[in-house]
Amino acid sequence: MKKWRSYRSKTTHKNKHSSIANDEVALLAARLEFFIPKLMVMMKPWQWLMYLFFWSLFVTITKRQDLVTGSDFAIFFAGYFFQNVISILPVLYLIDYLRPIFKSMSNVRVSVYIIALFMTSSAVTMILVQLVMINFDWLKYDTRTFIIDVMLDSIVGGGFTLVFILYFLRRYMELNALKASFEDKLGAQNDMIKARIAPHFFFNTVNTLIALMDSNPARASKLLEHVSALFRASFNGAREISFEEEIALCEHYIAIESSRLADKLIVNWSLPEEDIMYDMVITSLTLQSVLEKMLLNVVEMTTETIDIHIKVTWEQHRVIITITVQLPSKTLMVIYDLQQHMDFYIQTERLRAYFGDSATINSTVTTEQIITKINYPLQDVGL
């Protein structure tokens, strides 16, 4: 028997690694948390050691003309490798440890601190390695040469650190620009949906309310509750919500339109079990906006009663929502015109922004019915 984990449990901070959707905004937000990535996560310790090993070998080879014997080569290589390890790895761990403090500072200030850390670490370890080599008579002591070597090593360490910081800053700015572009795109799509919903829907609803004020005040009050819930959701912007919330929004919308359309509309739902549906998510107003288009282009164009059947399944890590609309038998509806109106480009783009490029909304129009399928990936961690 499956052990279902709730939608709210999966999206809490403690369970943030149990991703249930490819939420691109969340991924970008994680990357934009701080301009320097977690260095010890970016590469594992053994990978850093391999990098330092080959870098030390490369530097040793470039100085082979100053190394007379093989033992001189081995001593220089071992000393340089040891110095790199004890000067770089501890600082990388320290930077990751100080991330909570660094995130509250400006990028310039953080950069100065990090460069100072690497320069200080390079100087201290260079002094340590030089003293050890002098103590074992592997290196002749000369005060001037000793000071110059320490200063040069510190400057080189600071220079390499600056190069990497500039790289991270550039990547950080590119991600910021990508995030801004992404949010602008979603905002524009949401504005288009709001602009489309508002004119016809708002005025039709106001007219219905006016008619009910005198004849049925209780029903008018209930209708206002539905209107308030739906408009609040439409102005919250594009976001991922639980499937239960989206169903509730659809029911608000259907209740509003049913007050105006009287007996012309019948909606049947085939939904998964409650514990399964509790785990599901979708972008807000996706299903509601598809239903709205059906009402505008079919229900309002006939005097006959229209049956709409909505079936929801979640199998093999994919959610499939099938909306079947029976076309009127007596009213003439041109299939070509209906096909032109069954365009869900905006809804598809919003869905793909959160669930990936495999998300689709396709509609098939025949002489008897319109079948629209909303299909998107959703990881089922209960399997």
Give per-residue pLDDT as tens, 156-203.
889 999 999 998 888 888 777 766 666 656 555 555 555 445 555 665
Q: Would you state the pLDDT for residue 330?
A: 76
pLDDT class of 72 with cuts at 50, 70, 90: confident
Give per-residue pLDDT as tens, 284-306.
888 988 898 888 888 888 888 89
Q: Which of 63, 60, 66, 79 is nearest to 131 (CA)?
A: 79
Beta bridge mates, 240 = 283
Q: Who has greater pLDDT, 89 or 34?
A: 89
Most confident of 7-21, 178-192, 210-224, 291-305: 291-305
Q: Would you state the pLDDT for residue 20?
A: 38
pLDDT class of 79 with cuts at 50, 70, 90: confident
For the chain, the average pLDDT equals 79
Instruction: Assign 38 to helix, strand or coil.
Output: coil
Q: Are 156 and 122 in contact (CB under 8 A)?
A: yes
pLDDT class of 5 with cuts at 50, 70, 90: very low
Residue 37 CA to residue 55 CA, distance in Å, equals 22
Q: Are 242 and 281 in contact (CB under 8 A)?
A: yes
Residue 265 CA to residue 251 CA, distance in Å, equals 13
Pair of tokens at residue 292: 């709205």
- pTM beyond cutoff 0.75: no
